[in-house]
Structures are given as C-alpha cells and as structure tokens.
Amino acid sequence: MKRDADGDWPVLVNGSADAIAGGTGAGDGAPHALVVGGGLAGISSALILAERGWRVTLAEARPRLGGRATSYQRGELTVDNGQHVFLRCCTAYRGLLERLDAGPSSGLSVLQDRLDIPLRAPDGATARLKRTGAPAPLHLAGSLLGYGLLPLRDRSKLGRAALALRFTDPADPAVDAQSFGAFMRKRGQSQRAVNRLWSVISTATLNIDPDAASLALAVKVFRTGLLEDSTGSDLGYAAVPLGEIHDTRARAALTKQGVDIRDATKVLSLDAELNVRLRARDESELTLRPDAVVLAVPHDVAAALLPAQVPKPFAELGHSPIMNVHVRYDRPVLDGPFLAGVDSPAQWIFDRTGPTGLPGAGHYVAVTVSAADALIDKPVAELRSLFENELARLLPAARDAKVEDFFVTREKQATFRQASGSAALRPGPVTPVPGLYLAGAWTATGWPDTMESAVRSGISAARAAQEQWVTAHPSGTGARV
C-alpha cells in the first residue's frame, strides 16, 4: 500500500490495501469537527478526521447516508437512484470501498480484469471496446482499428485525436475555456465519430453534450482513464444496492470510528464564528460551536449557507440532469452485465436483477440517460413508449418479453453543469473563514463531478483542517499529526 500522492487516503496497489494508520478514536481535549452532508465527500472527511483523532459529528439532512449515490425501496425492489460506475483509475473511491470492506474481494462490488464494453446501435451494428495487455495507448489500438460502429475513414482518424487529447493539459485554463466537441472536430473527427465513440464516454462521465462540455474535464477523463495507463479504464460497479455500501457499510465504519452520526438533521445556518444552527430529527433546534466545519453539501446549498466573507463564484455552476429508466421483464433480456447503446437515448443498459433482490439474471434493467435535459420532464407514459421501443431495437430478447414494471428515477441536479469555463468557478477546500472548509464533488479536485471527485474532496478538506489545526496548535491538543 502506498499513500496517494495528493491525499491521505490509501491507494490500492496490485489490488491490496492495508489499514489506514491511526484510528483509535478521539482522546480528551481532541478538537471537534462538524461535517455537514453525509454524501461520499462528507463520509470521507468524517472518517479521516476521526482516524486522525478528532471528535467528529456528521450532520446529514436525510435519514440515510450516501447523498446522490444511494438506494430506496420500491415494494420488493431495492432500487438505486441511478446506476453508478467507477473506473480502476478512481483510486480514492476504490480506497473508500476497501475501507468499508466493500471492495471487489468482498463481493459487494465488481471491477473488470480488463476493460470490455459491448456497444450496439439500433440498426444492429455492434462494436467492442476492449483493451489488451499492451502498454497505453497501444492497449486500445486493436479495438479502435476494428471499431465496427464507424466506417474505415473515421477509424483511421481516431488515433490522431487520441494523441491530441493525450498531449493537452487539463490544468490549463485556456483548455477549460474550450468545448470538447469543437476540439474534436478540429482534430478531424466527424459528427458520427463524436456520437458513436467519443460521446459514449464523455457524456457518461461529464453529463453534458460534447459541444458544451469543458475540454479540460474531457481531457482529464480520456487521459487518466484511457490514454496514460492501460488499466485505468477497467470498469467497476456495485454488485449490491448502493445504499448497502454508502449507507449501511459507511455508517458501521463511521460508528466504529466514534463519529456521532446525526441523520435527518439539517444545518439551517452557519456564521463566521462557526456557530452552526441545526434542526434535529425531532424538529428541535440546537446550536453547535465546533473547532472546524467541513461543509460537504451541494454547491447551491453551500452558496446559501456560507457567510458573506466567502466568495461564491460556484453559485454559477448550474446543474445537469440524469434520468434512469427501470424496466422489469418477464424473462432475461440482457446477456451480459451491461451494454452501451449508441445513437439511442438508451445510453447505458445495466442488468440490476441481482442487486434488487430478484432471482435470476437479466430480467430487470436500469437504463442511464445522461445529459437528460430533453427527456427529464416527459411524462412516464411517453418515456415508457419511447424506451420500450428503444430497448426492443437494441435487445433482441426484449422484443417478445412482457414488461412487468416500468418506472423512472429523475435526478435534475445530478451533477454540476460541466461546461467550458467551469474550472474557474470551483473552489479549493480552504475558505477565508478560519476553521471552515469546503468539500463536495463540485469543488476543485480536477476531476469531473463523480464519486472519485467527492472522495478526493473529502480527503482534501480533512487534510486542510488537520494541517491548519496543527499549525495553530503546535503543542498539540488532541489531533495527531
């Protein structure tokens, strides 16, 4: 095990992880941190601070932890609010999974040995994005040269665009000012190549149309995931409902670490002296005065809660929606764990039969629609007709199958709007108010609004709190260095 170059979180090396150092709970006189928000950013911050010897209170407005990566009950089904995937390059999130005993060896999550994505278009054309053991970027050469969803003249130009992405700096503000779609067209990519290859990845990871997407974030995804390390894009996902990991397991780990979890507890206000007013589950109100506050809430909530001294350019980040369409059939319709739909609103189709508790496989699919602006407000009946038809076009076995249940989960504020120019709006963890820190997937992690970004942001905020506390209290009054 080695430590992440830019954080305290354990980074997996060769699939193994050892325990995080420390972690025996807070001693007398330990500083008190209030972490606001029990999503992945807040969970990560709270765990690390507690492991570093802080007394930690975690306040979460909802009754469950996990934030935007969560599950709920619908009759006999336990349903995720939206299908979530991660990549092997998501070292911080994978570190959290291991910390929660939910890594691939636990059976609670899956990580491919090698990237392998089947793709299909409604006209029946197929392709497979598959890596070999060759070093990057040659590991994808065979897949791209044989990419059956594009004609030869498009395929012959893919390498040039991939190289251009590899040598573009995602940290350069001038890069963030450009759109991914425009950059790809300038590198000779046809609209068909953008639709049938590049946007299959960029829309799923950035949740925005390629023509509006920040080039910097797209470069981050393609470089870190696909072009720099041959293993980076191996795909992972939860094998159980997300809530079992991000709520049940996280709650157990936090409790073991001595974190005081106050769920169904909403922070109402916060001032520059760190007086925090909360409304508890029983509607009673209380005020806490911790030594540090990590505000790990969505950016619009942070903008409303933060005192006037904190600049709030991030209030302009906006939101992009993700919709999931859930279809339960009377028979298996999917012959693998997932399929990417190309030139179709059914962008990613996942078999979620097992995690929902249903027997068998392939009967219940969750279809992800990212950048769902055009569909998110459509009535269920209209969506049902569209997606039943679309799934029948993509999945031959669905044509004769009977639909037993159909429902939709809509997340209008799934991510911030990851448009050109957004990097300048994302703040770091430190604010001008002493003891007040920011976390959340929307903060300046350099990553898109993902589980990886959330965990990284939580680590950064905890580390900043720890460093500033130690600097202000050199004789040591609790927290371990």
Ligand X SMILES: Cc1cc2nc3c(=O)[nH]c(=O)nc-3n(C[C@H](O)[C@H](O)[C@H](O)COP(=O)(O)OP(=O)(O)OC[C@H]3O[C@@H](n4cnc5c(N)ncnc54)[C@H](O)[C@@H]3O)c2cc1C
Q: Is the Cβ of residue 96 or residue 333 nearer to ligand X in the bound state? A: 96
Q: Please, what is the minimum distance in Å from the beta carbon of residue 312 to ligand X?
A: 15
Q: Is the Cβ of residue 189 or residue 457 nearer to ligand X in the bound state? A: 457
Q: What is the Cα–Cα distance from 269 to 200, expressed in whole angstroms?
A: 41
CB 287 within 8 A of CB 277: yes
Q: Please, what is the minimum distance in Å from the beta carbon of residue 479 to ligand X?
A: 23
What's the distance, CA 154 to chain centroid? Answer: 31
Beta bridge partners of residue 340, listed in sequence order: 119, 348
Contact partners, residue 174, CB within 8 Å, separation at least 6: none
Q: Is the Cβ of residue 332 or residue 355 nearer to ligand X in the bound state? A: 355
Q: What is the Cα–Cα distance from 172 to 176, expressed in whole angstroms?
A: 7
Q: Is the Cβ of residue 68 or residue 249 nearer to ligand X in the bound state? A: 68
Q: Is the Cβ of residue 401 or residue 439 nearer to ligand X in the bound state? A: 439
Q: Please, what is the minimum distance in Å from the beta carbon of residue 79 to ligand X?
A: 11
Q: Please, what is the minimum distance in Å from the beta carbon of residue 131 to ligand X?
A: 20
CB 44 within 8 A of CB 250: no
Q: Is the Cβ of residue 251 or residue 266 nearer to ligand X in the bound state? A: 266
Q: Please, what is the minimum distance in Å from the beta carbon of residue 10 to ligand X?
A: 19
Q: Is the Cβ of residue 183 or residue 348 nearer to ligand X in the bound state? A: 348
Dihedrals phi, psi of 238, to nearest 5 degrees: -75, 140
Q: Please, what is the minimum distance in Å from the beta carbon of residue 69 to ligand X?
A: 4
Q: Is it true that the peptide bond before 137 is cis, omega within 30 degrees of 0? A: yes
Q: Is the Cβ of residue 82 or residue 478 nearer to ligand X in the bound state? A: 82
Q: Is the Cβ of residue 154 or residue 209 nearer to ligand X in the bound state? A: 209
Q: Please, what is the minimum distance in Å from the beta carbon of residue 279 to ligand X?
A: 9
Q: What is the Cα–Cα distance from 469 to 480, expressed in whole angstroms?
A: 10
Q: What is the Cα–Cα distance from 473 to 466, expressed in whole angstroms?
A: 10
Q: Please, what is the minimum distance in Å from the beta carbon of residue 287 to ligand X?
A: 14
DSSP state of 420: T
Q: What is the Cα–Cα distance from 315 to 318, expressed in whole angstroms?
A: 7
Strands (E), 18-148: 32-36, 55-59, 71-74, 77-80, 85-87, 109-111, 116-120, 126-130
Q: Spell 334-345 as b/e; 16+ CB within 10 A means b.
A: beebbbbbbebb
Q: Please, what is the minimum distance in Å from the beta carbon of residue 335 to ligand X?
A: 22
DSSP, collapsed to helix, strand or coil, labels residue 481 as coil
Q: Please, what is the minimum distance in Å from the beta carbon of residue 289 to ligand X?
A: 17
Q: Is the Cβ of residue 30 or residue 238 nearer to ligand X in the bound state? A: 238
Q: Is the Cβ of residue 414 or residue 464 nearer to ligand X in the bound state? A: 414
Q: Please, what is the minimum distance in Å from the beta carbon of residue 107 to ligand X?
A: 20
Q: Spell 222-237 as b/e; 16+ CB within 10 A means b.
A: bbbbbbebbbbbbbbb
Which residue ranges make up the site for ligand X (CB under 6 A)? 36-42, 59-62, 67-69, 81-82, 84-86, 266-267, 296-298, 301, 322, 324, 411, 414-415, 440-441, 449-452, 454
| Residue among 452, 423, 418 at smallest CA distance from 172 | 423
Q: What is the Cα–Cα distance from 373 to 321, expressed in whole angstroms?
A: 6
Q: Please, what is the minimum distance in Å from the beta carbon of residue 423 to ligand X?
A: 16
Q: Is the Cβ of residue 41 or residue 150 nearer to ligand X in the bound state? A: 41
Q: What is the Cα–Cα distance from 73 to 51, expressed in whole angstroms?
A: 32
DSSP state of 206: H
Beta bridge partners of residue 179, listed in sequence order: 214
Could you tell me the strand order of the sheet in which 85-87 lies? 85-87, 235-238, 109-111
